[in-house]
Amino acid sequence: MAKKVKSFRDKLEKAAREKHIKCPVCGRDKEFVKVIRAEKTPNGSYRYVEEMIAVCGCNEKEVFA
């Protein structure tokens, strides 16, 4: 089967649906933030790891500190 072609509008609608996730503890909407960390490899060089983290009132201080 062929892959369905998505328009930019479809992508924005999907992102808007996923964006409104409520935290069960504090009740605030979670915001997604891209975090880039530097990890040291066994060779001694560094590699950058990108990840998306959901931030709400519960873990806001740990992520931004």
Predicted confidence (pLDDT) per residue in 25-61, tens digit: 888 888 888 999 999 999 999 999 999 888 888 888 8
- Contacts of 29 by beta carbon, 8 Å cutoff, 6+ apart: 19, 20, 21, 22, 23, 56
Residue 57 in contact with residue 23, Cβ under 8 Å? yes
Residue 5: pLDDT band with limits 50, 70, 90 = confident
| pTM for the structure as a whole | 0.55
Predicted local distance difference test score (pLDDT) of residue 12: 77
